[in-house]
Structure 1
């Protein structure tokens, strides 16, 4: 199934990262433990370098040497931030966006000042300072829980090697400190129970401090990148909307010029000829009027066909289901229509886009697929509207730059929707559009 719309130069959108597989509890414990233990010396180094560099750079600003020191400090902070961002996906169990730093350009002085003019490098430096106390707390909690859990679970193996009160009155264990008579079995039972409790709590405690540290890094090191990506996505959607509307207008102008406009010119000529020959040759006049009437009917049909690409009055008056029923009834290919929508109306832009997708898809089925039957399903799932158009035609449709379906993909991209096509050679063809309901 292909389309006869104008081909646009399509923009390349970054592929959505695949979902990460959920990590097992023990594997996640190892990841979190490695993150908190390894991150502690890195946090110390980052804190020392950034605080020292900022202090020295600020103090030397009066002699301009401080500018170079501050720039070098921010570059170092950026390096520590790159290391932190490399750890975040494994801890958060999802990919994180990468910020776009300023590119040095211009004179040597402007290149030197580039880190100072980049907001992200200042966020990197601030993260190195704020992260330091959080890294200390994470390290302490991780080491404490691991130490108590391992010591308690293995206490029975080395209790015999510890001095007790029988050999030295000053060597008292926990039970003796609280006034309870102690023996080897009571000590082993108590400390093993404590080890079991800490072993059970270990994954949750380590996970909590690792997430605290990782979320701090996500907010300070990737939130600006996420905002930049969202702005870029919205800009691409706006460009796609402008491109799609431009294509629609050009096609409408072309179709009107090649079809109804030429027919109306000929209709005017036939009426003028009939008017000239009405008195001297009534038969020729009647023949000219008959041709004009047939041409008027053809023009009316062409105008109706052109209006199908524009939101019809039935869509605004009675909703998407009624408009799709009208489109399906006009299709020369038998259409099995299934619409499952709530009683309340969808947003106008959602209804218009869904109507456009179904109308264009059915037109393509009739023109290019050699299909005998077509199925259209429109259903709302949560806050997303799913539109499926499937035919039993010859297939071969491709959703790629340079192909006709790119215009339909741009139309959906403009409303934050996506289009996918499954169309092997020999058929069938399945077109799936997903767009937000709001």
Structure 2
């Protein structure tokens, strides 16, 4: 429920004030230890990187900090109506902890989260607590006017001296009622501004957690490059389809038409030759149909459209000359068709590479979806040595995934095994 009650009657404003105070108090109590713990763990883990321990701990600490930051983003949108975009690069899944840690340290969002933890434990704590202070502090003023001042001061001329409520020194009934009047003023201010004060906390969070203009510009540059790659890939695919049609099915259909024309001439003069040409035309039509089916399969396999990514990958595995195990956990859902198609052809390319170049006799394919990511890994027990560079075909797969903000990670030490992991942000329908 949004605490924003800019327009409404006094009752709704009062409910908004109380809700802002309660939520602010809860947020302050929880956020301070969480921010301190997250910052200290991050700092210790980063310090331990040079001696090797931090390379193993940093990815887990960063995951935790990101999960906490995402939780606070969700609260900002649900409680304050403030949307805070997330611009994390996908966390690389690779067997090499140094590569994972290096990739995380290159992500500006990692350092932005650390800055936010520092702000959240100081100014963030104060701005979250402010609505509760505005609502609860007047209660003390009213309590003083009801006689609490006696216990706070020890009497009108007690040894403890006056009790200060705000700027009012309370030492008797007159000053106690003055404290109550001050409390009433604070309560009026709270009634008018408590919700707005709570909004300040979320705006502060957005100011620190939201990506900067430089990051957005870099994001635009990456999207421009991936769009250009997608356009180039589509143009190349169209040229391939046109070439296959021209050199394959179209040529066979033209030859078949010529054979049928010859049959028309020979059917009365030379029936045997006409029968021979008819048989040849029938073979040509069957071959043209097979080529058209292969062409359609290369554009969008029917099994992918009808049964989804998991069954389509299983069908790929059945056609391979190498023993291949496929494990699918997609929860019965399906990604959007473009993502599904890109993932299918990426897996197809990886399996082809493994069969042709790795020398493996076993391949494992794992597909699962979680935390808004479609994660696919293809592992073989071959000789290793695969790399994105060097024209291995992995660069093309990486470009294909980049169109959808996907990433590709390769772990392929000499001697094997090779594991290629792909992650594509998506939701399942």
Give the TM-score normalised by structure 2.
0.47
Return the index of the structure with the highest Cα Rg.
1
- Higher RCO, 1 vs 2 (CA within 8 Å, ≥6 residues apart): 1
Give the TM-score normalised by structure 1.
0.47
